[in-house]
Structure 1
């Protein structure tokens, strides 16, 4: 059948004969995936080398390879081969190899020059998967450094072609308009209410009665597909109507059944995820029902966790889905949103590199020898925070050294082709004789949950592993009262068996005693060292990375002293634990032996008002064990003591009247001359180590501090000259005319106070001054009963203007006391009357 892509093939062929790179934009259904490789396979510049066709999904890769092989009258594995996860059909005659994107990375790491490859076709590049971005960046560097003759074509239906063309060296964009039949778009009249699935079931029943042809329904995930399927089967569908789910976890037979033409006289309803959006054609479809939702992974550098998030599709994705209805004839697209909501959609889906877990990418870059991602060409450079977080995890796994260079262990993990967490777990298991259970865990963790109903709420991975083994070994689940997805178990068991074939023969002699399932937690600790959790008294768990976690429901695992969380939802302050296993302290000490730190913790304990010291075994934020420490570093004790004073305030120190007066005098002098030390409370708290530290060695409690002389300690802050001048310029007392030695109150440093009975100052004509003669004392003149009768800083004015009124009042109240008419000539006295 003539396809639209063939109209532009002469332009593409001519371009590649003269230049190494090209960008091809072709509408859905144009035939670019299957016709371009076949048309280029005999080009002379290939010189017998292979063509690599990269597909973002396994289903698309297998289907594309089968279509091309059928076009040649062959089986896959002859001229056209296929290499995807756990499956390789290639042979010595293979010229076109359809691969998933991660396979290209493996090939580049093994042979950076790609000597036996002449052309790389990046199909559906608009999906911007992490592996596609990395594969293109590495391929461009290979082309620049080793292989000027290597050709590359980036192909897509919807793409920011200009940016890609510029990255490929300013190449022209070859456009194929394709052949699409008109598609009528029908929006909702008002925003959808209620749950998605019943609304979709209703829309499918409406389409069955109003329109012709098979129906392709886009749903966000397998969970929604199962619910819609159940809703359809519960209702009375028209006769000869078949419901066919289509998502990645299904068996190949089930996937093939969904995409192949239906039987004559039947109508088919295909319930698909975004897997059916590009790369493959679902035969017979003339109706598309689009939920407008998709499920994408979102990585949080803050927590180090990835969660699946249901989000709105972009306008580009919605158009791709709509186009599926016009591949064979005119069709109709029902959109489960309003036209107003359509205007609010983003133009394109966010590239995975901006939001994904970059651990695999960081390890691949290190293996490639790239220290700085900027050395490579990117459409979007990896975010710095996410990349640094990934590198920190790789250091924990031993895949990188502290200088962020790849280790020999890291190179082993790269060769395994798995996520570094899982690869490290399997590699560690081979040394411990636990490869089989590790392979089963690896397969289990890579797929959706196999438990159903209320059992799904139980987070225990051991329960799932027991169910998997039961189905894998016996063919049926034998767990009483537990609902198990036996089909999913069979698929996961096959993947686990594939892993075992690769790695079991490498393991060392099994030295582990007892039930291998008892080691699930220790194996998870190898893969998720940052998610080891310790139970707190509240029932919540503190993770090694300092984050909190909690079980959402009551279950036995929630009482384990230690757990390892394989999956958390990253919601709120305390993440919900979705999958986990218990682990013993002894297992942690074995698995994390290089990471466990022994320390003597010294801290100030407020309740006992003393320094406490304990020996601790620490794993990140977790304290595995602690015992009292009889001996502690004196410097650490001093630091803890000073920390306690800083947190509780200077009130912990033994302030008596003498010490406070010394502090106040020094504050007074500092106001006059900044060369004097600042001993205000604020300054003392800020400089505890300097002024107090040398005097508290050996002290551990408030009682010990009570033996300190703060007066002497403050005086030690002065120079010899300042000590000599202190009594002269800021005396503690002053002798008044009566002969009494009266203390000076410096509590108000800007205005020191002398409180003295008025009669003791007779004969004193002027206010006394301190502070180098600059500051007059504030005189609080007292009655015989020690009550203030006047406050003044000008004694001469008091005698001249105010004394006589005060005298009249005091003489009436205290007639026995001495009240002379001339206070400057009178005899001062501290008695009722002066001595004869």
Structure 2
């Protein structure tokens, strides 16, 4: 504690804020010393234990070791830590990962024995940190007013957090930073440039240019794979090259955090090195400008890791690493103009992550998101998808309340999918749960899940395809996790603490034995895939999305698989890891969700009504046969949909009837959209219609008459008659297709008519025809025609049709359709 750190100047103000308000927001840049000084400064002020949260296991262990070192003792005295799979008890200070806090507060909402909770590195906005703060704050208000809460951050805007905590005091430390020179690329990298060779080239150039300055060179890369590949390209630098990432074993992590030796050191790290870790003697930083994050798509229900540009806040954090102990240099693998396009901050994890675990925690807590103090509310779409999955797993009832099984899932340190699989299948699922809870140890291998399980038993058998020194630590960690899970299940079984699993799942587990596919199907009921017909290995998943295997994969010919790892592509995801599933296993596991579905629908592609009986599990069609006895009313409904797609078939007769109905008030609209929107009037005539030809041959006259009913037909006949009766008693169809009702008939048939014919109080438009059926005049005033134009028509027609009567006064002549006898 002899070294003076910048944070020491504001510790009295922080102590005053905790003493007077019981809460504070502390903003201090990286290197100020907040992680190693603040818990120690509160030891004599806060009764009970001090709980400090770190976002990563590596940071938690390192923080505990430095705190203990500051007290002149080893971890296990006043200071301890607790992370997944590892714990050392401490009597006063305990450093834990954020998920551990959630488990603690769910089992003990009052947090008995704890006097202060410190959220370190809150600017990283992890999902567990946001949830943990919301739960702690509600517990403080309801049960523990004496519980002190401190939120510490390096770059986060303090005011919104302070407002969330009822206007908590904000304490700021200016820190201590040496000047850092920033060097950008002269021009942007060319399109299509590969990150690994470009990064290795820049790191080697930076090391050569700064060799005289000494100190450690810290390079930021997006992930483990890039670190390994870049490391292999830096052998010629003569430097000690060390990796640093979360999945690295503890010994290798400590080596990267130890004081450097005689040789210059290059540390290749992920974003884990941005803030909470102290890497000694860093003088040079190389920032590739990339970060790997999980992104969740609620539409597909899948998460995927994406490599993105860092935010300006992250770039500043990385740059600041070079100026903690002396003036430094930061090389950025982008040009200066490109910097303006970087986002200000990375999105909080709650806005982009899978919310299944959080949704279960909220249900177990008995709260809705709106009831709690969330800095960023969880997105409704992702939360809805999460709750749907939890309902499938039996963790929530249909009212959204947590079940006994759900409480048991929440008590396990696993994703609810894997916790469900472990509780239902028992200890035999521990290997699979451990494997699926981490990264794929055989990345790039064929998709078969059984290869990974075999590698866990004998890593050397895969050394010809995967470097043994690469896969051994990962497989060792997975085996350790599996042993821990087996002990946990054995302990629960011994205490009788595990509530019964959902009945269907429990029966299934007994029937399916230890098949990895069956166990995976318990965890991923929405990712059971059925191979589509055709040559390419494409699958439809039970959740409704599509997925594909590489054509040469050994699982490509399987009918049923469980896809446990996909790349998350929204159009068609690529399957990276899967297990074979027998249909008998599927029926045993999820038989209560397999339903026989009667399909009677119109197929636009085939132009016909399809009638099928199908067995379905979600979006999967397990069996499909013809439904020969489909009822006529179902066929009629399907045929009606065909009419809606193809349009109504209007014959001339039906079209005239429709035009007449349109003229009578109160008989309803008869435009196509209205007729099809309420198509029940058509159903009695569609029960036998199966094809497009049947629909196009349909005469709509009788259905239209039935639609208006008997009274409507009587009104129609009276007000808008279908025919005009000539003086000779002949019925002539009235055409209502145009604005004015019209008829056509031969001129001689209207001899003697002195009043113009009308219909529905409107004059008819009459096309007068010659004896040969050719139009000679159109009139809406027959008496006027007789008195005027008839004389000219008579003069012209007498020469053409001499055998037909052309009286001088047509109003006195008898109507006729006959010609005069020959010779007269």
TM-score by length of 2: 0.91
Measured in 2, the distance between the counterparts of 1:638 and 1:68 equals 77
Report the alpha carbon displacement of residue 556 of structure 1 after superposing the two structures with TM.
2.9
Pairing 1:189-228 to 2, within 5 Å after superposition: 189-193=186-190, 194-211=193-210, 212=213, 213-228=215-230
Relative to structure 2, which stretch is displaced further, 193-202 or 345-354? 193-202
The counterpart of 2:725, out of the listed 730, 735, 738, is 735
The counterpart of 2:318, out of the listed 316, 321, 334, is 321
Residue 660 (structure 2) pairs with residue 668 (structure 1): yes
Residue 744 (structure 2) pairs with residue 755 (structure 1): yes
Measured in 2, the distance between the counterparts of 1:422 and 1:165 equals 37
Do the aligned partners of 2:651 and 2:699 also contact (CA within 8 Å) in 1? no
Deviations 1:706-745 (A, max 9, x none): 99986554333445554444334333333323x1513223
Relative to structure 2, which stretch is displaced further, 807-816 or 290-299? 807-816
Partner of 1:8: 10
Report the alpha carbon displacement of residue 834 of structure 1 after superposing the two structures with TM.
7.4
Partner of 1:693: 683
Report the alpha carbon displacement of residue 249 of structure 1 after superposing the two structures with TM.
1.0
Do the aligned partners of 1:733 and 1:741 also contact (CA within 8 Å) in 2? no
Do the aligned partners of 2:633 and 2:683 also contact (CA within 8 Å) in 1? no
Do the aligned partners of 1:530 and 1:544 also contact (CA within 8 Å) in 2? yes
Partner of 2:503: none
Partner of 1:809: 796
Measured in 2, the distance between the counterparts of 1:54 and 1:551 equals 41
Alpha-carbon spacing, 1:391–1:781, altered in 2? closer, same or farther (3 Å): same
Relative to structure 2, which stretch is displaced further, 544-553 or 151-160? 544-553
Residue 335 (structure 2) pairs with residue 338 (structure 1): yes
Do the aligned partners of 2:182 and 2:329 also contact (CA within 8 Å) in 1? yes
Relative to structure 2, which stretch is displaced further, 313-322 or 104-113? 313-322
Report the alpha carbon displacement of residue 608 of structure 1 after superposing the two structures with TM.
8.3
Do the aligned partners of 2:511 and 2:588 also contact (CA within 8 Å) in 1? no
Aligned CA RMSD, in angstroms, stands at 2.8
Partner of 1:68: 67
Tell me the secondary structure at the aligned position of residue 556 of structure 2.
helix
Partner of 2:498: none
Report the alpha carbon displacement of residue 14 of structure 1 after superposing the two structures with TM.
2.5
Pairing 1:712-723 to 2, within 5 Å after superposition: 712-718=702-708, 720-723=710-713
Report the alpha carbon displacement of residue 369 of structure 1 after superposing the two structures with TM.
0.9
Partner of 2:32: 30
Partner of 1:104: 101
Residue 471 (structure 2) pairs with residue 486 (structure 1): yes
Do the aligned partners of 1:126 and 1:159 also contact (CA within 8 Å) in 2? yes
Alpha-carbon spacing, 1:716–1:350, altered in 2? closer, same or farther (3 Å): closer
Measured in 2, the distance between the counterparts of 1:769 and 1:463 equals 90
Measured in 2, the distance between the counterparts of 1:198 and 1:645 equals 61
Measured in 1, the distance between the counterparts of 2:208 and 2:717 equals 106
Partner of 2:637: 639
Relative to structure 2, which stretch is displaced further, 246-255 or 598-607? 598-607
Do the aligned partners of 1:665 and 1:749 also contact (CA within 8 Å) in 2? no
Alpha-carbon spacing, 1:339–1:767, altered in 2? closer, same or farther (3 Å): same
The counterpart of 1:272, out of the listed 252, 269, 272, is 269
Alpha-carbon spacing, 1:457–1:669, altered in 2? closer, same or farther (3 Å): same
Measured in 1, the distance between the counterparts of 2:773 and 2:418 equals 85
Partner of 2:584: 586
Measured in 2, the distance between the counterparts of 1:600 and 1:131 equals 45
TM-score by length of 1: 0.90
Deviations 1:334-366 (A, max 9, x none): 111222222332222211111111111111011
Tell me the secondary structure at the aligned position of residue 51 of structure 1.
strand
Q: Which runs of 5+ in 1 are unaligned?
A: none
Do the aligned partners of 1:666 and 1:678 also contact (CA within 8 Å) in 2? no
Partner of 2:252: 254
Do the aligned partners of 1:26 and 1:155 also contact (CA within 8 Å) in 2? yes
Deviations 1:45-95 (A, max 9, x none): 41xx1111111111111111112223333332221111001111115xx21
Tell me the secondary structure at the aligned position of residue 24 of structure 1.
strand
Alpha-carbon spacing, 1:500–1:138, altered in 2? closer, same or farther (3 Å): same
Relative to structure 2, which stretch is displaced further, 552-561 or 579-588? 552-561
Measured in 1, the distance between the counterparts of 2:274 and 2:189 equals 23
Alpha-carbon spacing, 1:112–1:744, altered in 2? closer, same or farther (3 Å): same
Residue 735 (structure 2) pairs with residue 746 (structure 1): yes
Do the aligned partners of 2:661 and 2:670 also contact (CA within 8 Å) in 1? no
Report the alpha carbon displacement of residue 618 of structure 1 after superposing the two structures with TM.
1.5
Relative to structure 2, which stretch is displaced further, 579-588 or 716-725? 716-725
The counterpart of 2:176, out of the listed 175, 179, 204, is 179
Measured in 1, the distance between the counterparts of 2:306 and 2:699 equals 64
Partner of 1:791: 778
Report the alpha carbon displacement of residue 767 of structure 1 after superposing the two structures with TM.
2.4
Partner of 1:477: 461
Measured in 1, the distance between the counterparts of 2:457 and 2:374 equals 44
Count of aligned positions: 800
Report the alpha carbon displacement of residue 291 of structure 1 after superposing the two structures with TM.
0.9
Do the aligned partners of 1:568 and 1:575 also contact (CA within 8 Å) in 2? yes
Measured in 2, the distance between the counterparts of 1:176 and 1:609 equals 74
The counterpart of 2:233, out of the listed 227, 231, 234, is 231
Alpha-carbon spacing, 1:744–1:127, altered in 2? closer, same or farther (3 Å): same
Do the aligned partners of 1:668 and 1:749 also contact (CA within 8 Å) in 2? no
Measured in 1, the distance between the counterparts of 2:265 and 2:117 equals 36
Report the alpha carbon displacement of residue 403 of structure 1 after superposing the two structures with TM.
0.5
Measured in 2, the distance between the counterparts of 1:707 and 1:272 equals 73
Partner of 2:121: 124
Report the alpha carbon displacement of residue 694 of structure 1 after superposing the two structures with TM.
5.0
Measured in 1, the distance between the counterparts of 2:200 and 2:696 equals 80
Alpha-carbon spacing, 1:601–1:468, altered in 2? closer, same or farther (3 Å): same
Partner of 1:544: 542
Report the alpha carbon displacement of residue 783 of structure 1 after superposing the two structures with TM.
1.8
Report the alpha carbon displacement of residue 126 of structure 1 after superposing the two structures with TM.
0.7
Deviations 1:139-171 (A, max 9, x none): 111111111111111112212111112222212
Report the alpha carbon displacement of residue 204 of structure 1 after superposing the two structures with TM.
2.1
Partner of 2:50: 51
Tell me the secondary structure at the aligned position of residue 324 of structure 1.
helix
Relative to structure 2, which stretch is displaced further, 273-282 or 780-789? 780-789
The counterpart of 2:399, out of the listed 399, 403, 413, is 403
Residue 383 (structure 2) pairs with residue 387 (structure 1): yes
Measured in 1, the distance between the counterparts of 2:197 and 2:690 equals 70
Report the alpha carbon displacement of residue 439 of structure 1 after superposing the two structures with TM.
2.0
Tell me the secondary structure at the aligned position of residue 559 of structure 1.
coil
Tell me the secondary structure at the aligned position of residue 811 of structure 1.
helix
Tell me the secondary structure at the aligned position of residue 594 of structure 1.
helix
Tell me the secondary structure at the aligned position of residue 412 of structure 1.
helix
